[in-house]
């Protein structure tokens, strides 16, 4: 996708718009909302570009707390301050929470059914693929990274090996690998 048709052009109209948008988002996100957030906010609503999305997500990721909740909070806060942040947060949590409690009550009745466990497993596999696909989509932004494509991809691969394959704790990987990447980027970009 060229950068021309991936510009952010639009923004939320009101805190209520944020609340309902994030409620709808959250309800579509099985096994995690992140993939849906990227698809919906960047590719459909165009509230932000892919690059902006990754930048915001870097902050959401580095701060404590659920990443997607952090992201909603930050996007809401960007446009409408604290009101917007709370509206986005409430949208992300309220309706899905009620639904989940209903599901839990239902599940308690049918927990013994073998088909149910299988269905959960099957949906889990699709959800894993969904997040992988989000990574593939966002990886296209590495082409124009200030570090150059090769080095940026290199950092990405190293990160995957450290966290995905070796399961090293994030509290070491992020400061070390992220720190080096940020330092090199700092040298590359113009003051």
Partner 1 sequence: MNTMLRFTLEWADWLNLFAQYLLLSLLSIGGAISTTAEMHRFLVDEHHWLTPSQFNASIAIAQAAPGPNVLFVALMGWNVGMNAGGWSTALFGVLVTMVGILLPSTTMTYLAAQWGHKNRDLRPVRAFKSGMAPIVIALLFSTSWTLASSNSVDHGEWKLWLAAIIAALVIWKTRVHLLILLLIGALLGWFGII
Q: List Cβ neighbours of 25 (8 Å cut-off, separation of 6 or more).
A: 33, 36, 37, 40, 41, 91, 92
Residue located via tokens 């296209």: 140
Decide if residue 172 touches partner 1 (CB under 8 A).
no
Decide if residue 100 touches partner 1 (CB under 8 A).
yes
Helix (H) / strand (E) element for 190: namely none
Q: Which of 20, 46, 49, 74 binds partner 1 (CB under 8 A)?
A: 74
Q: Are the beta carbons of 91 and 72 closer than 8 angstroms?
A: yes
For the bound state, the minimum distance from the C-beta of residue 102 to partner 1, rounded and expressed in Å, comes to: 9
Decide if residue 143 touches partner 1 (CB under 8 A).
no
Decide if residue 49 touches partner 1 (CB under 8 A).
no
Phi-psi region of 65 (alpha: psi -120 to 50; beta: other; left: phi over 0): left
Phi-psi region of 150 (alpha: psi -120 to 50; beta: other; left: phi over 0): alpha
**Contact letters (x/-) for partner 1, 15-44, by CB under 8 A?**
-----------xxxxxxxxxxx--------
Nearer to partner 1, 6 or 154 (CB): 154
Q: Which of 61, 83, 90, 148 binds partner 1 (CB under 8 A)?
A: 61
Q: Which of 7, 59, 143, 172 binds partner 1 (CB under 8 A)?
A: 59
Decide if residue 150 touches partner 1 (CB under 8 A).
no
């Amino acid at each position: 996708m060229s950068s021309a048709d991936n510009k952010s052009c639009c923004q939320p109209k009101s805190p209520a718009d944020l609340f309902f948008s994030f409620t709808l988002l959250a309800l579509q996100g099985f096994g995690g909302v992140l993939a849906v957030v990227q698809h919906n906010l960047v590719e459909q609503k165009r509230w932000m570009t892919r690059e902006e999305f990754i930048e915001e997500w870097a902050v959401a990721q580095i701060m404590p707390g659920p990443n997607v909740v952090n992201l909603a909070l930050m996007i809401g806060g960007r446009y409408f301050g604290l009101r917007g942040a709370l509206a986005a947060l409430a949208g992300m949590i309220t309706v899905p929470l009620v639904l989940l409690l209903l599901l839990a009550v239902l599940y308690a009745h049918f927990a013994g059914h073998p088909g149910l466990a299988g269905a959960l497993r099957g949906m889990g596999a699709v959800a894993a693929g969904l997040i992988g696909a989000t990574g593939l989509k966002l990886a296209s932004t590495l082409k124009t990274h200030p570090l150059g494509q090769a080095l940026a991809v290199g950092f990405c691969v190293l990160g995957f090996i450290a966290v995905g394959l070796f399961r090293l704790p994030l509290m070491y990987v992020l400061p070390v690998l992220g720190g080096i990447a940020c330092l090199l980027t700092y040298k590359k970009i113009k003051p």
